[in-house]
A and B are shown apart, each in its own frame.
Chain A
């Protein structure tokens, strides 16, 4: 076994590994001791976790409640709409992935990710192969997940081929597909246009978490940029208005605002006129995130020297044009890492919705743990939740780093 393994490796690999180990981990006695202790601790923790997960934990609670955790109490007869939506999203995501891979910018031919993104594709496929049997899903459902992963990878391959022929403009046009998909998704989930409406009270689980987070992220971005510009504006009403908004929202904890939205609106507006609880929460999240995003954008704006705007004006651009073409693109690029940080924390803030009785991922998990059949399985449920959140946040982080690399003017081709 060992021979065949090493036989496949490129020559000198073992020697280089040894060199690396010696150089990085065992350079001195202190380093070596530290490495041994740390490796021992990591192995012990890993061993403990694995022993618990494989021998002691009872994963039936996740297996039996996997549908509940994914989509909450969404009516079973309308579930096909969510499958359709997942297929749509997979196709759109795969197409975007392929396009971004193939249409490298002329001045920056670097890859999307530092390592070849084939690793990401392989990981995706592996997850779709391993998860359904691990969850004990039926063959039909497992097949659907595999088809979804296959569609994503097929679109990635197809658009990767087509993209080179279509040219860089394809990306700009393709960006419009996302809002259309999003609106279509809203219709599929909520009904209307001939589809039976499904009350928002029945949305739940991971679906509701992602819906809330994506809604807030999409809407808080334009709102935040406008607030940041408003705060730097010379027009006093706009400036004060923005300052008051930002400082008021940042001065109140999110949970307070959520309670305010849930309880006070019912008194202020006659019953039935106030939006559904789910939408109230989504708007509160949006309003909250916009205030923080505005400050992130403002820091980006502050990093751009005045000379940029002055140069734009002297070239004959109006202030609006100067902002749009010169200042904002640079400012947003500077603010991007902070903004993505905001988005990730926004995604995690959605767990607070469980405290106001919404059945998002954590709320659903809490109700699952209250089922007398599954009492006491906190570890299994919380670990699953942590994994799910980690996957979502890791995807956001990876995407943003790819975007950063794409936009980074200093990452020039090796000359």
Chain B
């Protein structure tokens, strides 16, 4: 019904005189009139999306949904989560069942292209990649140390092919031990049938935290493949895609400027009091019209940070060293520290 109403009212709204916002987005209008954001998540992914015992959704992907809901609707709790499996996620987005896909989806050309899945990707929130886990006691520090050693790998996966390619490049001979399922693979690794096991780094970290002696295993620093996990929306609504993109950039910018969930209130009053803090005043919506240009409330960045904290806080809480997953920031550091997290200027 809402969409029907939006379809009927859309052209009328287009004819109406400029109401100041100047942003036309059916999706955003639909979300606002519905009063909640429908967010597609995986639902069963350690650290990224799962349900707490009290029924609340939690995880890095979930925090993205919350931040966007806070930016657009001013309330991080106004999210309806849909668990989607990998085969239905794009169909659910295309058919409008979900407004936003925050379901650790790797950004690729064919998924982005209008002739492919026709998605519009928001900034990458987690740069995953294939990694290798070894027992700390083995003394292995890099891929080259694996020469002549058996490595456990799931057969028939891109993981297996990536490993072969990388080891051939490095000219390192090794013995692949292939298994049908991931359970078998990790059982063999724990049974010391191989000295290393390879998979996506986030998965390795998740598995490691379920090991009886998690600290005895370490991930090698090398990353063998590119898996930029990014939220996505549909291609057909560029204004919505922009709002999404800059809501996420706001979280990254906040970390760069040292704004946190705890101090953002103080920073806001500081910005209000001091007219010389031009960047901060524009960012937090004290002056300028960033929000209006995006079709968002002027304090969207403040609301998003207030809801979930900055990008670094989000990372640490869900997957970082303080969490059970114990993932290092690695390439997910800020650009100033040599990482890939980089928000374009808020101007």
Asked if residues A367 and B51 are in contact (CB atoms below 8 Å), the reply is: yes
Q: Which 7 A-B pairs have the closest CB atoms?
A: A376-B210, A266-B95, A357-B83, A372-B324, A375-B210, A370-B50, A73-B55
A65 to B91, CA, bound (A): 32
Task: Tell yes or no: B335 within 8 A of A by CB.
Answer: no
CB contacts under 8 Å to A, within B41-80, are 43-47, 49-55, 58, 80
Name the contact of B51 in the complex, choosing from A68, A262, A267, A377 (C-beta under 8 A): A68
User: By the criterion CB–CB under 8 Å, are A372 and B55 in contact?
Assistant: no
- In the complex, per-residue mask of A361-379: 1 if CB is within 8 Å of any chain B CB, else 0: 0011011111111011100
In the docked arrangement, what's the CA distance between A77 and B96, Å? 30
- Can you report 9 residue pairs joining A to B where beta carbons are below 8 Å apart? A68-B51, A259-B87, A263-B95, A267-B91, A363-B44, A369-B44, A370-B45, A375-B206, A377-B210
Contact (A370, B46) CB under 8 Å given A266-B91, A266-B95, A271-B95: yes
The answer for the CA separation of A376 and B324 in the assembled complex, in Å, is 12
Contact residues in A for B2 (Cβ distance below 8 Å): 271-272
Instruction: Other than A68-B51, A271-B2, A370-B45, give 11 A-B pairs with Cβ distance below 8 A.
Output: A68-B53, A68-B55, A72-B55, A263-B91, A272-B2, A273-B4, A357-B88, A367-B51, A372-B46, A375-B324, A376-B210
* A283 beta carbon closer than 8 Å to chain B: no
Write out the residue numbers on chain B whose beta carbons fall within 8 Å of the beta carbon of A64: 53
Contact of A375 (CB < 8 Å), options: B46, B81, B88, B94: B46
Tally the A-B contacts, defined by beta carbons under 8 Å: 109
Q: List chain B residues, Cβ under 8 A from A358.
A: 83
Is B95 a contact of A267 with CB atoms below 8 Å?
A: yes
* Contact assessment for B211 and A376 in the assembled complex, using a CB-CB cutoff below 8 Å: yes
Across-interface contacts of B46 in A (CB, < 8 A):
370-372, 375
Size band of the interface chain A makes with B = 35 or more
* Residues of A contacting B50 in the complex (Cβ-Cβ under 8 angstroms): 367-368, 370-372
Q: Which residues of A contact B220 (CB under 8 A)?
A: none
* Residues from chain B with Cβ under 8 Å of A375 in the complex: 46, 206-207, 209-210, 324
| In the complex, A25 has a CB within 8 A of chain B | no
Q: Is the CB of A201 within 8 A of B80?
A: yes
**Closest-CB distance, B5 to chain A (whole angstroms):** 9
Known: A364-B51, A367-B51, A376-B210. A199 touches B44 (CB 8 A): no
Q: How far is the CB of B11 from chain A (nearest CB, A)?
A: 16
B167 interfacial contact with A, CB 8 Å: no
CA distance A72 to B53 in the complex (A): 9
* Shortest distance from the beta carbon of A274 to any chain B beta carbon, whole Å: 9
0/1 interface trace, chain A 256-274, chain B, CB 8 Å (1 if under): 0001001100110011110
Q: In chain B between 321 and 335, which residues have their CB closer than 8 angstroms to a CB of chain A? A: 323-325
CA–CA, A277 and B4, complex, Å: 19
Are B82 and A201 touching (Cβ within 8 A)? yes
Interface bits B301-313 vs A (CB < 8 Å: 1, else 0): 0000000000000
Can you name the residue of chain B whose Cβ is closest to the Cβ of A73? B55
B84 within 8 A of A: yes
Which residues of chain B have C-beta atoms less than 8 A from A263's C-beta? 88, 91-92, 95
Decide: A73 and B51 in contact? CB cutoff 8 A.
yes
Could you tell me the distance between the alpha carbons of A270 and B30 in the complex, rounded to whole angstroms? 14
- Chain A's closest residue to B34 (CB) is A272
B82 contacts A372, C-beta separation under 8 Å: no
Contact B52 A371 (CB under 8 A): yes
- A372 partner residues in chain B, CB cutoff 8 A: 46-47, 50, 206, 209, 323-325
Residues of A within 8 Å of B47, CB to CB, are: 372
* Nearest-CB residue, chain A, relative to B318: A372
CA distance A368 to B58 in the complex (A): 11
Verify A65–B53 contact, CB threshold 8 A: yes
Residues of chain B within 8 A (CB-CB) of A369 are 44
